[in-house]
Structure 1
Amino acid sequence: MVPFLNAGQISAALPYPTLVESLRLSFRKGAEAPRRHVHPISPDSEAVLLLMPVWQPERHTGVKVVTVAPRNPQRGLPSVHSIFMLLDSATGAPICLMDGEELTLRRTAAASALASEYLSRADSSRLLAVGTGSLAPYMATAHCAVRPISTVTVWGRSPDKATHAAALLRQQLEASGIQAEVETTTDLEAGVRSADIITCATTSTTPIVHGDWVRPGTHVDLVGGFRPNMREADDALMCGAAVFVDTWNGALAEAGDLVQPMEAGRLERASLQAELADLCAGRHPGRSDTRQVTLFKSVGAALEDLCAADLAWDHHCRQATSRPHGGAAF
């Protein structure tokens, strides 16, 4: 029987320092990752199926299967379901199934933390988390794992949801052994003006972070806005910052924060700095001075899924062999 790793097992296998370092090596090495397939599967309910294949010929292949059903909350169900299948590249044999949501949350956060190591100031101590969805606590915790963050401020359109997200964040920080004060705010502009790092994970279709609020030396991390009609940052910020992306293919096709100002002629492709692989390989130095405003825009990369899945599988195998009599709890 093909084993299944649940969310708890994925979480235990992927501490951020380990995952960040593994992602650095994976971006240097690369992988084959075609653009994801998107298929409407229930037009009446607007449900879609996303397929994200990725492989490294010498070891593993992976496919993440994601369904997005926007009307599910009305049914009392999550709008997104996801599963990841790991296979042997040489034989094609299935190796393991994994909880796709936890895998995605942790690799997304770790990729932003990896970019932050190159783009944020090393002394960054104040983090603003914009958004209250399931990803927000992961993003904040990952950033705290790579920078000496002493205060995390959470902002959301709903103060109640912000309070809930802050509580989840405190739990994740404690579980990771990270000490940082967590607070909430209803004043987004004030939060932006006082932050060293701003991480945004929203589904906004209009800009919510404005360039004239962002002080010199700030690093901005945008992980929402994964469709061309979505925006988290205004044109002033996009055009005034040194902009980096996770991958050119994904960001230039899907990120509304890039697509919209480029189509309007306000942002030139030539002004964009580099993708994450360039930073990891040393082809671009990252931040150039302490007053520079940097911005990292990600829409997700299948390479990150495969990297995280490899780590989770290796951890599972080590755990299995360390059990008495070599027993494996599948």
Structure 2
Amino acid sequence: MRIVTGDDIRSVCSWPFAVEALRAGHRMPPADLKDSLIESTGRKMLVRTAWIPGLASGVKAVTIYPDNPSQDPPAPSVQGQVLLFDEAEGHVVAVLEGVELTAWKTAGDSALGASCLARADVRSMLMVGAGSMARPLIEAHCSVRPSIDQVMIWNRSAPRAEELAASLGKDGISAQVVSDLDAAVSRADLISTATMSTEPLIRGAALKPGTHVDLVGAYTPSMREADDETLTRGRLFVDSYATTIGHIGEIMIPMASGVIARETLQGDLHDLVQGKAGRTSDDEITVFKNGGGAHLDVMIAHAVYQALCR
């Protein structure tokens, strides 16, 4: 069994590496998935399991403590580990550091969705939220859409957005902080959201034709980042039916009210990667719900483990 640290993961990972690992994984048969979520006073423990026939199986166990980043000293809001099992014999082959792997998996998931759905000529990106996932999402989207030459950042706390914009600028990514969210939404070709919001932030009325919307943050039944009009104006896709339908407020709430139905979902990443679904015109709005899932962690973990063993 190999212990894989965050440094080990960074030594082999790049955004093209992560996206292609996920793309290859979605050419495999769909995973069997099961999740367990426990909550106490706003803090959560999430255990996610996945078995991908012919590839590997794995377990991801994480805690989610939203107040950790504001502590002194600050700590990650998400902490945990991933166990990777040999698919043929069932033994543990690796234990991987979960925070680092989660960033590559989560942003890679969204970037794979964008590579299938976003127009090839997108220029402007809006990042809604400036937390720990904002920078990985910006980098990942720029890797699959290098035509992006302007990044706008909106955050409830402007200083945090300014800090992120300055950091991106040092690495050659042109970024600016915006205060008017609706105005920024109306200018963006690609929008990515990663917040803890329980109230919709993205208004569908503000979207311009051709926009791709990547919804990342809403991961509980009570959370939402986009309003009903966003989901009905755009063609709606998910990364996984199993981790979104019946689990996530972004899909559950409008389904319960009758705004959308199961048939509204145009496809998942298996459909997108295998060419069974996708964008049909430059003018249509596409919406992608990133629901995550342990199968994505297994895909990245397996690719990392294989790369380290070469």
Range class of TM-score, shorter chain: over 0.9
Check 1:31–1:270 CA distance in 2 against 1; reply closer, same or farther (3 A cut): closer
Instruction: Determine whether 1:211 maps to 2:211.
Output: no
Give the TM-score taking structure 1 as reference length.
0.87
Moved more, 84-93 or 289-298: 84-93
123 and 67 in structure 1: CA distance in 2 versus 1, 3 angstrom threshold: same
Cα pair 1:33 1:302 within 8 Å, conserved: no
Q: Which runs of 4+ in 1 moved over 6 A?
A: none
What is the TM-score of this pair, normalised by structure 2? Answer: 0.92
The residue aligned with 1:307 is 299
Question: 1:187 and 1:312 mapped to 2: Cα distance?
Answer: 40
Per the TM alignment, residue 72 of structure 1 is displaced from its structure 2 partner at its CA by 4.6
Q: Which residue type is aligned with residue 112 of structure 2?
A: L
AA of the residue aligned to 1:29: M
Deviation larger for 77-86 or 246-255 = 77-86
Change (3 A) 1:238 1:57: closer
Say if 1:304 and 1:214 are closer, same or farther in 2 by CA, change over 3 A.
same
Residue 57 of structure 1 deviates from its aligned partner by 4.6
Q: Paired residue for 1:163?
A: 162
SS for the counterpart of 2:34 is coil
- Among 174, 186, 192, the alignment partner of 2:179 is 186
The letter of the residue matching 1:209 is I
User: For the pair shown, which has the larger CA radius of gyration, 1 or 2?
Assistant: 1
Residue type of the alignment partner of 1:258: I
Q: Structure 2: state its 5+ residue gaps.
A: none
Residue pair 2:32, 2:52 contacting (<8 A) in 1 also = no
Aligned to 1:324: none
CA contact (8 A) 2:33 2:51 kept: no
Please identify, of 7-16 and 222-231, the stretch whose mean Cα deviation from structure 2 is larger.
Answer: 7-16
Match of 2:91 among 90, 93, 100: 93
* Alpha-carbon separation, structure 2, partners of 1:165 and 1:73: 15
Q: Retained in 1: the 8 A contact 2:154–2:177?
A: yes
Indicate how the Cα distance of structure 1 residues 158 and 271 shifts in structure 2: closer, same or farther if over 3 A, else same: same
The 2-side partners of 1:108 and 1:4 are apart by: 21
Indicate the percent of aligned positions where both proteins have the same amino acid. Answer: 36
CA distance in 2, matches of 1:170, 1:313: 33
Q: 1:251, 1:14 → 2: CA distance?
A: 27
What amino acid is aligned across from residue 278 of structure 1 in structure 2? D
Cα deviation, 1:68-120, whole Å, max 9, x if unaligned, reads: 24565676443321111122223332222111111111111111111111211
Q: Distance in 2 between the 1:244 and 1:222 partners?
A: 10
Q: State the AA in 2 paired with 1:299.
A: G
**Aligned twin of 1:10:** 9
Distance 1:74-1:156 versus aligned 2 partners, 3 A rule? closer
Tell me what 1:154 maps to.
153
Match of 1:35, SS?
strand
Structure 1 residue 60 displacement after superposition: 2.7
Q: Which residue of 2 aligns with 1:66?
A: 62
5+ residue gaps in structure 1?
Answer: 319-330
Which of these residues, 285, 288, 306, is aligned with residue 293 of structure 1?
A: 285
Q: What is the letter of the counterpart of residue 107 of structure 2?
A: A
Is the 2:212–2:286 contact (alpha carbons within 8 Å) kept by the matching residues of 1? yes
Instruction: State the secondary structure of the residue aligned to 2:252.
Output: helix
C-alpha distance 281-96 of structure 1, shift in aligned 2 (>3 A): same
One-letter amino acid matched to 2:186:
R
Q: How many residues were matched structurally?
A: 307
1:170-181 equivalent positions in 2, closer than 5 A:
170=169, 174=171, 179-181=172-174
